Amino acid sequence: MSNFSPADKEQLAKLLSEKIKVYGQIRKMTEEQSGLLDKDDIEAFNVSLNKREKLIEKINGLHQDSDTLMQSYVTFSSASSGGDKEINKLRNDIHDALKACAELNDKNIASLQSKSESQKERINKQSAKRKGIGGYAQSVPNVPEMFDKKS
């Protein structure tokens, strides 16, 4: 049986609980980003992405801190019948939070791609109109004397 002490269990539970809190913040922020995309507030969306990136870095740090304990726990839980209920619940909660964040993120990506295509079409239409205006502009004489005369 692996060495997985009650102190290890307590520390792992603390780290996993902290991960769940941060994933909750990421999920909330991702939901807010959906609203920002709906409002076409790209500047606020970019600010929110930067804030979310900092939370992801925090998650990475928590993962590094908990990785060794988690490996010990997995060895312990396979040696004992199923492991600890609290730790298993926290692991399931993290899995659910990750899944929810991924789904929201996929929706935001799809929305952003749709808006990008829409903007691309608008730019192409404006370019076509500008080319049409350019044809008319060539038929108008551009002689400086016409504009300098005071009549």
Q: Could you tell me the pTM of the whole model?
A: 0.72
Checking 23-30 for CB contacts under 8 A at 24+ apart, the result is 23/59, 23/94, 23/97, 23/98, 23/101, 24/97, 25/55, 26/52, 26/55, 26/56, 26/59, 26/101, 27/97, 27/100, 27/101, 27/104, 29/55, 30/101, 30/104, 30/105, 30/108
Q: Where are the domains of the chain?
A: 6-112
Per-residue pLDDT tens digits for 53-108: 999 999 999 999 888 888 888 887 777 666 788 888 999 999 999 999 999 999 99
Give yes or no for residue 1 having a pLDDT over 50. no
Q: Smallest Cα–Cα separation from 17: which of 28, 9, 29? A: 9
Higher-pLDDT residue of 128 and 97 is: 97
Higher-pLDDT residue of 33 and 123 is: 33
- Confidence category of residue 136, pLDDT binned at 50, 70, 90: low
Residue 74 confidence (pLDDT): 83
Give me the half-sphere count of Cα atoms (radius 13 Å) on the Cβ side of residue 65.
Answer: 16
Residue 120 confidence (pLDDT): 79
Compute the residue count for the chain: 151
Contacts of 32 (CB under 8 A, 6+ apart): 48
Give yes or no for residue 112 having a pLDDT over 90. no
Give yes or no for residue 133 having a pLDDT over 70. no
